A and B are shown apart, each in its own frame.
Chain A
Amino acid sequence: MNVPTPAREALEQFEQARGWEQRARLLMQWGDRLEPLSDADKCERNRVHGCESLVWLVAEQHDGQWQFKASSDARLLRGLLALLLVRVQGLASSELADLDLRAWFNQLGLERQLSPSRSNGLHAVLQRMAELVSVS
């Protein structure tokens, strides 16, 4: 499967990152690049529950391709969301279903962020994404 260009860029950066500080800085930079959500999108319907931070995820399908928007009030989580979106943006449902996102975060060296423990948001975001994609 083709890896989108921004995702390749992310992979290169994170593979080169040394230590937790560099990874954290990169995460914050990626978080800052996340397109802001409108207030209308930050509604209860788009809330991802099961996170201890506020997280919103919006999924829309155009011509068979998925377009996602996401945000959070927590900075590092915004970075994780950005890294998720660059990998899934524009995919078709079947491509999304085949995509191993755990492996993606593994490649980035961020696998621990996927822990199902409640304080972490990413796990719940992936579940929510799978739900949104499967119902349509």
Chain B
Amino acid sequence: MFQPSPWRADFPAIDALQRQHQTYLDSAATSQKPQALLDALSYYYGHGAANVHRAQHLPGALATQAFETSRDKVAAWLNAADSQQIIFTHGATSALNLLAYGLEHRFEAGDEIAVSALEHHANLLPWQQLARRRNLRLVILPLDVQGRIDLDQALQLIGPRTRVLAVSQLSNVLGTWQPLPALLAHARAQGALTVVDGAQGVVHGRHDVQQLACDYYVFSSHKLYGPEGVGVLYGRSQALALLRHWQFGGEMVQLAEYQSASFRPAPLGFEAGTPPIAGVIGLGATLDYLASLDAHAVERHESSLHQHLLRGLADRDGIRVLGTPQTALASFVIEGVHNADIAHLLTEQGIAVRAGHHCAMPLLKGLGLEGAIRVSLGLYNDSDDLQRFFEALDQGLELLR
């Protein structure tokens, strides 16, 4: 039965891609954009760009107002208590680097940082490099067979020396939601700060950072149907106060002299240089658009398509799905077929999926794999997209076998 997406027409690129015979199934890498975002960017650039938090003139005041309104919208989207808890960065990766540098002063040699075995490089490497700089122990929380952090082992491994726990909410490779409530509660009880990488999780469902009770929550705009070049770092007020300034210049400064300077608190103190103004305004427009959708309908649509995807993969011989995906994506390998070969043939047939290590090399290596194919869904995908993917997959496999 055909399952249409009621929101497909809101994303003009989907139509354009279809005219180029491209079926886009790589939304976990980046998403297509709604018309509302295109309109906001066009309006901003068409009506007068200006820098924010600097100028007394009218364009500056308008840009600053639009920029700060986006901060309010992000705070509302995450249910943060206060807009001042939202820092704009240049992406999720830069937000995580901000944390790893901003918290560096709190570590002593021998302290521990806990991350999971499934982290994206963005939530592994900043902590790994911090551990190397400061002689810390990076503790890797192992996974269970389904692809979730093994709680029993994690609760043993997170102890009094753990100063930071940094974990993904939703795995970008396995599509599994992580047991955050239990992990975060335990880490908190041990006196550790908690960081949640919401890059994938934020795209599916609404998440309440107060209920989640994490110290920091990070996501990137471009995966959430917004523009690239914008990331968000939410922090509890007390947690933000712990951060040391890490990039300098622009309006993050309070007073500057030749030999010394003082800096603003969060959020502006952590937004050095000219921020991605149009991008932030565009993210605000995207959030308005997303907030206007029927959240239950979106969830039903995504879940039903995801079931369709999993069924189709299970119906085919020799396909091994990695872990037990719960949402939005599935990664798989095919017995006797190199993933580069099937990726090549899917590309030839206009199917845009991701092949490779998905920026999680240690995870793939741990599974004994060089790479995998990942199909990931956005709210604009429909069942015809999956049908085209399965037909292309069958054709490709027929050729290779």
Contact = CB atoms under 8 A, between A and B. Distances in A.
A121 interface: yes
Nearest to B371: A52
9 contacts: A23-B348, A24-B345, A25-B399, A54-B370, A74-B338, A75-B338, A75-B400, A77-B341, A77-B344
B349 A74 contact: no
Given A24-B348, A54-B370, A76 B341 contact: yes
Contacts of B400: 28, 75
B137 interface: no
Nearest to A20: B348
Contacts of B357: 52
Interface string B318-344: 000000000000000000001011011
Given A76-B344, A119-B355, A21 B338 contact: no
A65 to B, nearest CB: 31
Contacts of B250: none
Contact of B340 (A20, A23, A24, A53): A53
B102 interface: no
> Which 8 residue pairs across A and B have the least CB separation, nearest first?
A74-B340, A20-B348, A52-B356, A53-B340, A74-B338, A76-B344, A75-B341, A119-B356
Interface of B: 338, 340-341, 343-345, 347-349, 354-357, 370-371, 395, 399-400
Contacts, number: 47
Nearest to A27: B344
A52 B399 contact: no
Interface of A: 20-21, 23-25, 28, 52-54, 73-77, 112, 118-119, 121
Contacts of B356: 52, 118-119
A75 to B, nearest CB: 5
A52 B355 contact: yes
Main SS of the interface on chain B? helix
Nearest to A54: B370
Contacts of B355: 52, 119
Main SS of the interface on chain A? helix
Nearest to A52: B356
Given A52-B356, A52-B371, A119-B355, A74 B399 contact: no
A53 B343 CA distance: 11
Contacts of A75: 338, 341, 400
Given A24-B399, A25-B399, A77 B348 contact: no
A77 B338 CA distance: 10
Contacts of A54: 370
A46 B371 CA distance: 21
A56 B133 CA distance: 35
Contacts of A24: 344-345, 348, 399
Given A25-B399, A76-B340, A52 B348 contact: no
B338 A53 contact: yes
A119 B343 contact: yes
Contacts of A76: 340-341, 344-345
Nearest to A74: B340
B331 to A, nearest CB: 14
Contacts of A77: 340-341, 344
B377 to A, nearest CB: 20
Contact of B370 (A20, A21, A52): A52
Given A28-B399, A75-B341, 12 more contacts: A24-B344, A28-B400, A52-B355, A52-B357, A53-B370, A73-B338, A74-B338, A75-B400, A76-B344, A77-B341, A118-B356, A119-B343
Contacts of A53: 338, 340, 370
A48 to B, nearest CB: 13
A21 B200 CA distance: 35
A54 B338 CA distance: 11
Interface centre among A25, A76, A112 (most CB of B within 10 A): A76
A20 B398 CA distance: 13
B33 to A, nearest CB: 21
Contacts of B338: 53, 73-75
B340 A21 contact: no
A56 B338 CA distance: 16
Contacts of A74: 338, 340-341, 344
B284 to A, nearest CB: 31
A25 B348 CA distance: 12
A76 B343 CA distance: 10
Contact of A20 (B343, B349, B371): B349
A121 B356 CA distance: 12
Contacts of B341: 74-77
